[in-house]
Amino acid sequence: MLTLSDKTFELQPFHFHTPSEHTVEDETFPMVVYLVHQSAEGRLAVLGVFLKEG
């Protein structure tokens, strides 16, 4: 569960992308997991988490 601006979002199926499509300060990542959340009204909030080996 995720709460944003007093709205509750329930975790939906998550998915992985390899390699990640984004960089942070020019650093690339081998994988990212996207945690998709949905509110009762159907709005989406997606949290991406970069993953590294080790």
Span 17-51, pLDDT tens digits: 999 999 999 999 999 999 999 999 999 999 999 99
Residue 27 corresponds to which amino acid?
A: E
pLDDT on residue 54: 86
What's the CA gap between 34 and 36, in Å, rounded? 6
Q: How many CA atoms lie within 13 A of 38 on its CB side?
A: 6
pLDDT on residue 3: 95
Residue 45 corresponds to which amino acid?
A: A
| pTM given for the model | 0.82
pLDDT on residue 39: 97
Q: How many residues does the chain have?
A: 54
